[in-house]
Every structure is written in structure tokens, then in C-alpha cells.
Structure 1
Amino acid sequence: MWDKRNDMIVYETEPFNAEPPPTALAGQPLTPIDTFYSRNHGPTPDIDASTWRLHVDGLVDRQLDLSLAELRQLPVQTVVATLECAGNRRAELNAVRPISGQEPWGPATISTAEWTGVRLADVLAAARPRAGAAHIAFAAPDIARNASPPQPYGASIPLSKASSGEVLLAWSMNGRPLPRVHGGPVRVVVPGYIGARSVKWVHRITAQPEPSDNYFQATAYRLLPSDGIRGPGRGIPLGPAILNAAILAPGNGAAVAAGPTSVTGYAFSGEHTVARVDVSPDGGQTWSQATLAQPASPWTWQLWHTTLSLPGGPALITARAWDDTGATQPEQPATVWNPEGYANTAWPRVQVDVRSPVR
């Protein structure tokens, strides 16, 4: 479906929600389009690029109504950026305490692509936001059935972020026209923020004094208190991505031969840089440093790898990342459990069966 690889883990077909097996991301600085995760809240709209329009309104001196051809007349910019679903690694929280009504995502609802389009800052400069404009809201046409009440998807980011050069209105992904399932013909790409703010199929941009009142900004994508009661303004709104890391290979439950074992994964810290990744062969009793790849841009994950010497028997491989502020990951998923299952940043763990050679 949607030209994705055959081994995608599909949680829903309509809306289409799927992630690749973790091993498919291993060693891939850029994620192939057929492997890139897909998170949607409503049916995928079919938008004719020739008739698509972008409306810019609200607290601006000059309202805009742009076709795709007119948008392309602005300076073109390419940014390599990682997008991560706020519910990435939710399955581990679900194992602590059941979370209802949410996809049980594994560690692969994160992917990296080369995005090409125009800077949102250039569009805003043409519209000239007025005094009092503090947030930029995005609207899309897809109707989310799980919103209360059902409504088109929307979100917002602060004007200060929207005016930075890395935020794009993108029409290309990895050098190809943006696929429909990933927001084509045009989507927002907000590097360093949770994927929910990178609105797909965007058709309206509004400058306003307050954050969007759309369900997915005001009610969803918030860290709720333990009572789990939703409501506009309850909980902590999610924005900048939080330091996270995962083990991609070997896979959980894999059988490996005793001796040197290659272990690979990713680490990502949104608007910060990952400084170190430690890996343990014994559940955190002993640690060694992994080799950390340089990021492709300031807005991407960093892949890491190491080789562990594993004796025969079961082994619990564990990792933890540190960023350039000195922040690190919490040890246990129970300490970050929340009713919606967002922002699981606990140490990743992979159980493997280490088999001694037959004599």
C-alpha cells in the first residue's frame, strides 16, 4: 500500500499508519521513501497540484493566495531533517500500563529525508506579520475522525520558530515529488519539533496572537497528568523534540552467534546535538562508548554503532544517549509513563539469544 515496502508494520489502513521494522533503518542516514514511517489522523486527501492554493491570512499586512507555480518563484531551499512521531516507542510504555486508543508504535516511527521547497520565513516576509502576531497556525483539509469533534487537522508553532530559515514548505522528498501519503503536493517541515507540527497537505497559514485552537494543538499531543482527562489546555504541550535513542539491530528477540556482535542504532535530540552514546551488553551493569556518526545537518538523527563481545545465553543489550547540554535518558519507561504514551525516552533495551557454536 502507498508504495511502501512489504514488511511495513501496518496498524491502520485508513487512515494509513505504519512503521518499518527497526532493522530497516539501521545504517541508513537517509530513509528511503518506501521505508519512511507514516502517521495520519484522517483519510489521505487527493489534491490536484495544478489547482492547489496556499492562503496566508490573519495578523498580516498583506494576505496571500499562492499557486504552486507562484510558490516556486521564491528561493528554493533544501534541508535534511529527521521527523519523529511524538508516540515513538509507545509500545514500551504500553507494557508498563495499558494505553488505549493509540497505536502501539515501536522504535521506528522516526525517519530522515532531504526536503526541498521554500522557507516559510520567505512567505511570511512577503505577508509581513503585524505586531501582536506570536504564532503561525497551519490548516489542512484531511478530516480527523478521532478529534473531538471531528475536524480538519491543524497545528501551530511560535513565530520565532516559523521565521527561522530551516522551516520549509516542501514539495520534494529525497529528490522526488512529495508523495501524496507524505503530504503532497506541499507540506510543512519543522525541523527539531515533533512530527505532529509538520502539517501535511497544508493549504492555509494564519498569523495569530495565540497557539492554534485546533484539537491536535489544544487537546492532543500534550503530556497529560495521570488522571488522563483531556481538555483544551490540559497537560504540557509538545513542541521541540526530546533526546531519544533506540537500538535498531540486532532486533528484539533475535538469535545471534556468541562472540563479536555488531549493534547499531540512532540518537536524536531535536534542536540539540547528541554528544555520546553508551551501550551495555548486560542490562546496564557495564558500559562502553559507541562510535557516533556526524549528523547530516543540525536537524538530523545521529547513527551509532559498536561491537559487543557476547557470551552464550540470554543478553540484554541496553543503550543511553547524552546531548550537548548534559541531558541524558531516564533509566526506566515507568518513570515517563503518561496516559497518551508520548515521549518515551527511557533507555532502549533489546533481548537477544546468544548461541554458542556447536562443537
Structure 2
Amino acid sequence: MLLRRISPLLGGMQILNSPRACVAWPSSCLYSKDTRSSRGGANSSSSRQRWAFTTTGALLGLGSILLYRSHERKLAQDNQESGSGSHMVLSSSSDPKASISRSYPVYTLKEVQRHRTLADGIWVTLGKEVFNITEFVDMHPGGNRILLAAGGSLEPFWAMYGIHNQKHVLEILSAYKIGELSPEEQASGPADLSDPYAQDPPRHPALKVNSMKPFNAEPPAEVLTDAYITPNAFFFKRNHLPVPRLDPASYRLEVVGRMGNASLFLSLEELKTRFPRHEVTVTLQCAGNRRSEMNAVKPVKGLDWGIAAIGNAKWAGARLRDVLVAAGFSEGEIGALHVQFEGLDRDLAGTGYGASIPYHEAMSSSHDVLLAYEMNGEELPLDHGFPLRVIVPGVVGARNVKWLSRILVSIEESQSHWQQNDYKGFSPSVDWDTVDFSASPAIQELPVQSAITDPQPGTLVAEEDDKITVKGYAWSGGGREVVRVDVSLDGGSTWHVAKLTGEKQAPGQAWAWKLWTLTVPLPAGRTELEILCKAVDSSYNVQPDTVAPIWNLRGVLSNAWHRVHVSVTRN
């Protein structure tokens, strides 16, 4: 057994809170002594000891499921006696769809989202069904990680944790059904036309919101390293303006033709059929990722992002190069220095978001710049640019323009605010009285980056067999591959090399991150750990050790060694 974490968000199959937890997993438990205090309610028993468990085989696992059947029948009996109707009554069939027919209340998403604590009850949705899983929280084999889904959908979590997609798990869940989910359009009522954000799409409540209007949010950091590909629901949301609602049937992309030629107008269908589909795995990172660490040194202007304004996805669409060639452009085009992108997201004055990249990158056959209409095998979500966005591998997220409306080849950069007066780095000596945005280039490629996602800062960990596992991500811009991640448990006095995992990509085209894991002995005698990580890329660029020397007034390009402090309890 590895070092066990005792924290508000427990993950993996490591700790069980109750012997009843066996019934929720297709394996069994070996129990230690039970020192639980009596539960005075759904949110009591904070001082009880945890239950250690180990997998002992499918036969005992079957016994666990049968034990749950007994628990399930008891729930049904209790509901019949009380008339509460809080749980579905199952038939003898193992198929949850074969349950006894009954009508359920209809709830809106807003009503579900109000139930996110043990005091208010933990409600979740799956498909169009609503479940009250408050009583199940203590039985969840993954510990309190289930609370991340509170008030929202189970789908993105189940996409990462495939073991849930089994018949007996659906059976267990169905016992907690309390209602049906109404369409979100009914939940929100008529749109408030005076509010440009009124038609923004729904988002998962597990996201940490940095601003509502425009919507900007990041997922819980520990979710990032649960899967190599970041689920769409948990991919960070970075919006500068209201999300536009577009009709894909009438959508047209304008590509301004070669000097003197007419513009090319392409429908979404033409982009899909006229040009070859190309797919590439690309990590996107906001320029302000980890800005909170710069804020801790000295206040900066910008959203207070933690370490999760980054994500990795499979993007598919037409190559930008193919579309530019169709519009009459070629490599080495005279007067072609930049490719400008304009989005359909606009402010009240009608000014849209814009950005640009160098022309040679757009036309490079190896740079994989896409006009993407798919994300992780699905059409682009609204928050991520539906129906079409630019994906520029290896560069800052700000250049990956969403809701794309127009492409222009030009001798000059985009003149938008976000290209000229934002997303630029400066010396720590520059302040808002002396800053000259024209003196610095717009950020394109990002520097090497890494961060620790597990354990979380402030975690109290319990000693077990003197080992600890640390997890995180690492990435570098410009297609440079991460070749090493060093991890220290003692503030940098000694270092260990982590194990890297990830998709193999061609040299110079390492657009995707690496996930890393380190399992090592716990330093002898220590009750406090300062865990550090630093990444090295294929050009031997390495992260700086502290934040202060790279501090800048906008809080961008924050990539110092990541530091997490945890405490250790010993037997």
C-alpha cells in the first residue's frame, strides 16, 4: 500500500469510510476495527477512522453485490413505509430499465445545482435522470472524489473512470433516483435580452469559476491527471466576451483571397467535405495559468488562475494550409507575414475578438494548424468555439480564436486589443505607470511548464509503508518535447526523476503534454514535506526556481518550480 491521503477530496480506490462500501464495487473488503461515531446526519462522523480495503477477488465481489441487494430492498421498504418516494423500486430483473413504472418529479438544472453539500443533499444527474446520492457518499470506493460531481452530471467522470460503465453499477445508481431532468431551456426560462450572457451554455458545477461574465473557469486540479485526454466538460473555459449562438446551416467562413482575388466563403459542410480531415492531439494553455502564484508575490491584473488553466484534447478539422492554398496563397507569398483571425464573439460596441500568428507557421506542412470542428470526437462545444475555431499547436491559448468568422493574410499583425495591448510579458521593474505595450512582442510559443496535481496543497497524509506517490503534468511550447521531470520532497535538497507517460509525437511536433508519476520512499523522520517539480524540454530549457524574477504586471508566463506543502502523520 502507498501513502494514503486524508483530505477533503479523496481519489482512487484507496480508502473506504464504511463496511457498506463493498457493495458499490465489484471486489471485496478486508476490514479493520470500526471506531465510527454514530451519525447524527449526513454530514457528521468527521472524526471516524477510515476503513482500509484490498481487492480479494470476484467471488467475494459477488457477495458484496448481494449484500447491496439486501440494502436496496431495505431502502425500498423504508420508502414504502414512509411514503417518501425518494428511491426507485427495482424489479427482479437485473436491467435497471426494467424497473417498476412510476412517475417522478421534474427538476431543473438550477435546482440540482443547489444540492452540492452533505447538509443540502448530494444530487447528480446521468442523462435526463436525477439522483440523490447523499447516503451513498460514504460507500463510494473512490472516497469523497464523488463529491466533485455534486450538483452536476456524472457523465464526464464516468468517461474517465470506465469501471462505472457496468450493469450492476447502473443498478446501484437507479436505487437513488428521485426525478427527471427538465430541458435547460425550460430551467432558465425566456432569455433576458438585456443580458448578453443570458444564452451562455450550462457548465459543470465542479469547475472553479474565476469570472461569470464572461465565463472563465478551471477544473479541479486533481482531475487533470486522471486521464491523458481532458474531457470536454473539464477543459478549462477561457472566454473574453459572450458566447455567440450560431446556426451551423447558415454559417460561413470568409477567407480573404490573394491580393486582387475575391474572398472565399466556405460553409461548415464544405470545410468537412472539400478538405481532408486531419486530427492531432494538442495541449492548450492560457497565458495566465498559475497567475495566482504571481499574485502571491505582488498583485497583478488578471483572472486568478490556479494550475488548471490547461488541458489536452484531440482536435480534428481541415488544415489551415489547405484552405489558404484554396484561396490562392502559397509558401513565400510576397507581403504575407501574418495570418489574422477574427471571431464572432463581440462586445456591445460590436468589436470582436481577434488574434494572429506568423504566416510561415500557418503555411507549414509540419505545424498542424487546424480549422477545427471536432473536439475529442464530438462537435465543438459552445464554450470551445462551435462551429469552428483555430487550433495552433504549441502557442498560447489566446491565438486559438474561437467562433471563427474571418481569415485575413496581411503584412501586419492583428490590430485587436488582445494582440497589441494584452498577452505580452515585461520586466518585473515595469508597472502600470511605465508600461509600453508596443515595446514587447505578442506571446506566441509558451515556455516549459509543469505542476503537481496530487497531492493537493495543505493535504494531511498518513504514513503507510513509507511511500508516497506524486502526480502532475508537464508541457512545453513550440513542439518541444518534455524529456524529464524532476521531483523533490525536501524543498530541493534532493531530486528524483519521475516516470513520463503520453502519446508519442514526431520530433518538433510534440504538441501534447506528458503526465508524470513518482512513487518513492518517504524521507525518514519528516512530518512536513515541501514537494517541488521542474520540467526539462528537448532544447534543455528548464523552469526557473522562483516566481519573483519572472513576475510581470499581467501575471502571464508563470512557470516557476511548482511547490506543494503537505503534512505527514506517522504511526
TM-score norm. by structure 1 comes to 0.94
- How many Å apart are 1:13 and its aligned residue? 1.6
Between Structure 1 and Structure 2, the one with more strand by share is: 1
Q: Does 1:269 align with 2:480?
A: no
Structure of greater relative contact order (alpha carbons < 8 Å, 6+ residues apart): 1
The match for 1:46 is 245
Q: Provide the rounded CA distance (Å) in 2 between the counterparts of 1:167 and 1:40.
A: 21
Query: Where does 1:322-333 land on structure 2 (aligned, <5 Å)?
Result: 322-333=536-547
**Residue correspondence of structure 1 range 114-125 to structure 2 within 5 A:** 114-125=314-325
**Structure 2 residue ranges without an equivalent (≥5):** 1-199
**CA distance, structure 2, for counterparts of residue 202 and residue 117 of structure 1:** 13
- Per the TM alignment, residue 2 of structure 1 is displaced from its structure 2 partner at its CA by 4.2
Indicate whether 1:89 and 2:290 are aligned: yes
For 1:2 and 1:287, locate their aligned partners in 2 and report how far apart those are by CA, in whole Å: 45
- Would the aligned equivalents of 1:99 and 1:341 in 2 still touch at CA under 8 Å? yes
Q: Aligned to 1:223, what secondary structure does the other structure show?
A: coil
Q: CA 1:354–1:2 in structure 2 vs 1: closer, same or farther (change >3 Å)?
A: farther
CA–CA separation in structure 2 for the residues paired with 1:183 and 1:215 = 20
The residue aligned with 1:57 is 256
Deviates more, 1:217-226 or 1:194-203: 217-226
| Distance change (3 Å), C-alpha of 1:231 and 1:66 | farther
| TM-score of the superposed pair, with normalisation by structure 2 | 0.60
User: 2:449, 2:559 within 8 Å by CA — same for their partners in 1?
Assistant: yes
Cα displacement (A) at 1:230: 5.1
Q: What is the DSSP-based 3-state SS (H/G/I as helix, E as strand, rest coil) of the residue aligned with 2:543?
A: coil
Aligned counterparts of 1:299 and 1:43: Cα–Cα separation in 2: 29
Q: Secondary structure at the match of 1:86?
A: coil
| Shift, 1:69, TM fit | 1.1
1:295 alignment partner in structure 2 = 503
Partners in 2 of 1:33 and 1:181 — Cα distance?
9
Q: What do you get for the CA RMSD once the two structures are aligned?
A: 1.7
- Using the TM superposition, give the Cα deviation of residue 252 of structure 1 relative to its aligned residue in structure 2, in angstroms: 1.1
**Residue in structure 2 matching 1:316, options 530, 552, 559:** 530
Instruction: Give the aligned partner of residue 105 of structure 1.
Output: 305
**CA distance in structure 1 between the aligned counterparts of 2:209 and 2:531, rounded to whole angstroms:** 26
1:236 alignment partner in structure 2 = 441
Larger Rg: 2
Deviations 1:158-178 (A, max 9, x none): 111111341101111111110
Q: What is the CA deviation profile of residues 271-321 of structure 1, one whole-angstrom value per residue up to 9, with x for unaligned ones? A: 201111110001111101111124354210011110133354221100111
The one of 396, 406, 412 equivalent to 1:194 is 396
Report the secondary structure of 1:161's partner residue. helix
Secondary structure in 1 matching 2:456: coil
* Residue identity opposite 2:212 in structure 1: T
Aligned residue among 334, 342, 345 for 2:556: 342
Of residues 219-228 and 69-78 in structure 1, the stretch that sits farther from structure 2 once superposed is 219-228
CA distances 1:76-132 after superposition (whole Å, capped 9, x unpaired): 1111100000100000000000113x1110010000011111000000011123521
Alignment of 1:203-242 (within 5 A): 203-225=405-427, 226-228=430-432, 229=434, 232-242=437-447
* Alpha-carbon distance, 1:58 to partner: 5.8
1:234, CA displacement in angstroms? 3.2
Separation in 1 of the partners of 2:503 and 2:458? Answer: 29
Q: Residues 169 and 280 from structure 1, CA distance in 2 versus in 1: closer, same or farther, beyond 3 angstroms?
A: same
Give percent identity, aligned residues only: 41
Describe the superposition over 1:310-347 as per-residue Cα deviations: whole angstroms up to 9, x where unpaired: 35422110011111111101000111100000001100
Q: How many residues align?
A: 353
Q: Give deviations 1:45-101, integer Å, cap 9, x for gaps.
A: 11111111100116444520111111112111111100000100000000000113x
Q: Measured at CA, do residues 62 and 150 of structure 1 come closer, stay the same or move farther in structure 2, by a change above 3 Å? A: closer
Query: Which one is further off, 55-64 or 249-258?
Result: 55-64
Aligned counterpart, 2:133: none
SS at match of 1:203: strand
Instruction: Return the alpha-carbon distance in structure 2 between the equivalents of residues 246 and 292 of structure 1.
Output: 13
Contiguous gaps of at least 5 residues in structure 1: none
Stretches of 4+ aligned residues off by more than 6 angstroms: none
Q: Which residue of 2 aligns with 1:174?
A: 376
Instruction: Give the superposition deviation at 1:26.
Output: 1.4
8 A Cα contact 2:257 2:264, kept in partner: no
Aligned residues of 1:274 and 1:321 also touching (Cα < 8 A): yes
1:19 is displaced (CA, Å) by 0.2
Contact 2:228 2:502 in 1 (8 A): no
Give, in whole Å, the separation in 2 of the partners of 1:119 and 1:195.
18
Q: Distance in 2 between matches of 1:42 and 1:251?
A: 32
Taking the aligned partners of 1:55 and 1:150, their CA distance within structure 2 comes to 18
Confirm or deny that 1:137 pairs with 2:351: no
Measured after TM superposition, the shift of residue 144 of structure 1 is 4.8
Provide the rounded CA distance (Å) in 1 between the counterparts of 2:212 and 2:364: 35
Instruction: Name the structure 1 match of 2:226.
Output: 27
Q: What per-residue deviation string (whole Å, max 9, x for no partner) do you get for residues 235-287 of structure 1?
A: 23200121111011111111112221110111101220111111000111110
State the Cα distance separating 1:150 from its structure 2 match: 7.7
